Structure 1
């Protein structure tokens, strides 16, 4: 059997590819005391192990999946990338650009100081920055250096060796530095500053604070001396000075929907929706709480609404709460950016185009809000395959042209072109949702499968040279990787706090985004017991995720 298996895999490399991902991916989900290697690292290591059998696999396979992966990255970050560059996220975007430049410069300086060649330098950068996508662009750039097939293969092997050795601390380092060292270094009491930020953003307001999402429904019978009797629904709601709504009215045997002109009468049974704390203040005189299952029934499944209308871009929740179109609906969640980062629901939280709002309320009221704000995100299954593949093809064609400057080949590359095409497609989809739909589960699949298949190809191809590479550089490469990860991360903390002067509640979120470290954001939010840090995360993450990817080309050109 042991002779049969290597021979079979050598003759059928596609089996080796599937086997690598099948074994490597689940290994990355295993954690010990909160620490895990991640699917990318484990897939690469399994690929290197299987590659010891000297399996020849076409690099075209990896290239195809890598282009799919890059399109998914661009599509996901597109809306926040464009906003960060062009609009009110400019300071955060500039901050991310500087952090990326520091990461690239540190990697280049360390590689030169340590005497590494192009392959080890590119792998050092990609691993220390945990920029898996940069690995592909570096590989593509090395292929255009005009080297022999043997030299190219050796450098690609060096990339995977350096990446595997530096990726581990590249993942763990920012988490520890930002979430554990950061608050002490910057002297920030994270829970306290987040509570203070929520207060400044109106988090204690009775009218448009928690009432946006912490709501209940109660039913009351109005007696003749109830202050609401004789008034219209609109007048009664205006007098409550709180985000509370009359939903339906039982009058005799009839149940009618409440509207602003409906006059309230004695013996009416009314259903009221609002924050729990507001009922006692407004429904104590002349009312009797009753149980009426039909009146208490409200759909509990939220509808996702994508904000697309320019008129609502930049509006705060306090602004939206005062509009007629939001009357009678409740907001339960806001998601923003490629990773669907949840944004805190506060009166002064701004809504951006491309945000996904989950709302609950009567269907007719939700339909009214959807028409005004954007579109309902009901398309959860079908992907616009034609638009996706056309965008990938156009992006690849744009990236092919190359110019030579002092003997250096300068090109966007197919990978860079596809990344830009994805950004444009994602941004266009957020503002003109008529074509190019890619559901979030499909984006996740394109990300996970595209990247891990590409990594598996790299691992299998570089397997024979990995051992030699480790013997050549030894443990020093791991230590140099720690340097490349640590310096820009610490610098990011100091820049965010003392140069850009971001709010203390957002500064660590900005650093997590600029370092493209989603796990660090999770740790910060847990410590803060708040989602406020996420407000500083999305724009820097979109910028860094893109620039670190392109850095894979730049590091090769610098090292060459």
Structure 2
């Protein structure tokens, strides 16, 4: 009996050598966690098997972590300027599905192999998880393992070479194209003197409702007095107000009520600007309206920073852990505000086992519910789709009853990464037993088919982005990387220009692609 016959030793050998393979870089490209899958497939070919329960446990943890990560952005992005990028992400999945059906017919590939090819071409491990769950066939992992390396390399090459082939100056192209995103630097401050008679004796709330403005009036200067702007604060003619917002909103406010004051305005020392980080568990998932900061502490929030980008603070936006609020208040008030948002010392990890277990249990039960699709048959979301759906919904709200769904990002990454490698190790050894036979019989077809599923969606998405949405090349490429769920592609895109635009487009397209590739894997089982 060899050491590899012990399941526990086998698991850690696969994780150790597989992760070592995944770290090998060739011109900045590596396989990452997929190195575990490839090494596990080799061992599986020689008859070594990791218990199925390990694969199922890893799948559950990985899928829930992905859902909790995508949830806060998914529904909010639908109502924001990122919708155009989300549409591109969805388009890439639709084209990939159509291409997969064509490839399957042309090369006479089985449904599990074809679906595995698609998930590999899109470099989507959640898609592979859904494919294995839906097909109940480990051969899907073979298709994934064959198409994945090409999927990684093809996106990077597309991003680097396509602008050169078209001979486009990316900086000039970005400057002359109207950007659908707001940048961190877009938020400005403006001091305006009220001169319009119709504004006299209006409250701030009445003025903002009339103008439909998102600009925040943070302070009012009246003679030698300086006080915070509250919703019920009455404005008088000749007041000077300090407003924060996007330039177009500030200009609209200025044109409606008076003139801008460009000279330095004397601000009394009783009000200062502070930055507060959201950390307290009971604040996660709450909106600014629910917290009543102005009423309780005479504090005005002028900006909200999330993931490096600043936004005007909408009263309905729900807070996430790590949000940074810019507040205006008196120095004696700031300590109480900091205590509310939990800026006290906290633990490094906050994995809530009760919540995690309950989300998984509800998700698995939902995944068992049969869904009838007219003309195609009945499907279930399964162990992959059910937990993903529930995690996205609960992740959006942050907290539902006793369930806490907003973990610190390092904690969420621990759940995701551990789950991912356990899942890939189990899937790899199971698929490895049929690897050589499949490659012998379908070798050329798999390579050509995988290339088609990778390239065609990117080209179609680029044409639609340019011709229909009139996006810049860099926005188009960022959205394509998100739609292909390609982090290496985003890295290559970021190296083309010194701007945050590719990352913004990627972040908007990615969650849509992440979710719909899993759904597509389930639907293809009924179609093929």
Q: Answer yes or no: same fold by TM over 0.5.
A: yes
Match of 2:41 in 1: 48
Please name the residue that 1:159 is paired with.
140
Q: Partner residue of 1:381? A: 349
Deviations along 1:240-272, one digit per CA (max 9) or x if unpaired, are 95999979xxxxxxxxxx314xxxxxxxxxxx9
Structure 1 residue 456: deviation in Å?
Answer: 0.6
**Aligned residue runs from structure 1 range 340-419, under 5 A:** 342-343=308-309, 353-354=318-319, 356-358=322-324, 364-365=333-334, 368=337, 380-402=348-370, 408-419=377-388
- Of stretches 362-371 and 63-72 in structure 1, the one that deviates more from structure 2 is 362-371
Q: Distance in 2 between matches of 1:237 and 1:120?
A: 64
Map Cα deviations across residues 25-74 of structure 1 (whole Å, 9 max, x no partner): 1321221221222221x111111222233124332220121011111111
Structure 1 pair 352/26, CA: closer, same or farther in 2 (3 Å)? farther
Q: Is 1:142 equivalent to 2:135 in the alignment?
A: yes
Partner of 2:494: 525
Aligned to 2:249: none
Kept after mapping to 1: 8 A contact 2:399/2:405: no
Instruction: Check if 1:113 corresponds to 2:106.
Output: yes
> What do the CA deviations read for 1:276-318 (whole angstroms, capped 9, x no partner)?
xxxxxxxxxxxxxxxxxxxxxx99xx835688565689xxxxx
Contact between 1:128 and 1:481, CA under 8 Å: does it hold in 2?
Answer: yes
| Superposition TM-score, scaled by structure 1 size | 0.69
Task: Give unpaired runs (5+ residues) of structure 1.
Answer: 144-154, 209-229, 248-257, 261-271, 274-297, 314-322, 336-341
Q: CA–CA distance in 1 between the matches of 2:182 and 2:36?
A: 46
> Whole-Å Cα distance in 2 between the matches of residues 510 and 348 of structure 1?
26
Please say if 1:130 is aligned against 2:130: no
Cα distance between partner residues in 1 of 2:354 and 2:402: 15
In the alignment, does 2:277 pair up with 1:303?
A: yes
Structure 1 distance, partners of 2:482, 2:317, is 18
Displacement after TM superposition at 1:206 (Å) = 7.3
Output the CA distance in 1 between the equivalents of 2:436 and 2:81.
49
CA contact (8 A) 1:174 1:517 kept: yes
1:295-348 deviation digits (Å, cap 9, x = unpaired): xxx99xx835688565689xxxxxxxxx96247xx98x630xxxxxx43x5899
1:97-496 alignment runs, 5 A limit: 97-143=90-136, 155-156=137-138, 158-182=139-163, 185=166, 187=168, 189-190=170-171, 193=174, 203=185, 207=189, 258-260=269-271, 303-304=277-278, 310=287, 325-326=300-301, 334-335=306-307, 342-343=308-309, 353-354=318-319, 356-358=322-324, 364-365=333-334, 368=337, 380-402=348-370, 408-429=377-398, 435-496=404-465
Cα separation, 2, equivalents of 1:105 and 1:506 = 25
What CA distance in whole angstroms lies between the structure 1 residues aligned with 2:119 and 2:492? 23
Q: Deviations over 1:77-128 (max 9, x none)?
A: 1122112345654443333222211111112211211111122212111111
Q: Is the 8 A contact 2:49 2:426 kept in 1?
A: no
Tell me the C-alpha RMSD between the 2 structures: 4.2
Rounded to whole Å, the distance in 1 between the matches of 2:29 and 2:18 is: 16
CA distance in 2 between partners of 1:346 and 1:191 (Å): 26
Query: Aligned pair in 2 of structure 1 residues 16, 433: CA closer, same or farther (>3 Å)?
Result: same
1:180-235 per-residue CA deviation (whole Å, 9 max, x = no partner) reads 41575494523662598799969588747xxxxxxxxxxxxxxxxxxxxx967779
How does 1:520-559 map onto structure 2 within 5 Å? 520-559=489-528
Residue 359 of structure 1 deviates from its aligned partner by 5.9
CA contact (8 A) 2:478 2:490 kept: yes
1:9 and 1:15 in contact (8 A); partners too: yes
CA contact 2:82–2:505 (8 Å) conserved in 1:
no
Q: Which of 83, 93, 102 is the aligned partner of 2:86?
A: 93
Q: 8 Å contact 1:381–1:439 — kept in the other structure?
A: yes
Q: For residue 112 of structure 1, give the secondary structure of its aligned residue in structure 2.
A: helix
**Structure 2, gaps ≥5 residues long:** 191-222, 228-238, 243-259, 291-297
Partner SS for 2:27? coil
CA distance in 2, matches of 1:527, 1:242: 40
Q: How many residues of Structure 1 are paired with residues of Structure 2 in the alignment? A: 452
Q: Secondary structure at the match of 2:306?
A: strand
Task: Give the 3-state SS of the residue equivalent to 2:46 in structure 1.
Answer: coil
- Displacement after TM superposition at 1:499 (Å): 1.4
Conservation of the 8 A alpha-carbon contact between 2:54 and 2:423: yes
Q: After alignment, is 174-183 or 427-436 more displaced? A: 427-436
* Counterparts in 2 of 1:57 and 1:204: CA distance versus 1, 3 Å: closer
Partner-residue secondary structure (3-state), 1:111: helix
Q: CA 1:533–1:488 in 2, change beyond 3 Å: closer, same or farther?
A: same
Match of 1:69 in 2: 62
TM-score by length of 2: 0.73
Deviation at 1:550, TM superposition (A): 1.9
What is the CA–CA distance in structure 2 between the aligned matches of 1:245 and 1:122, rounded to whole Å? 66
Question: SS at the partner of 2:23?
Answer: coil
Q: Structure 2: how far apart are the matches of 1:432 and 1:196?
A: 46
Secondary structure at the counterpart of residue 506 of structure 1: helix
Give yes or no for contact 1:130–1:171 (8 Å, CA) kept in 2: yes
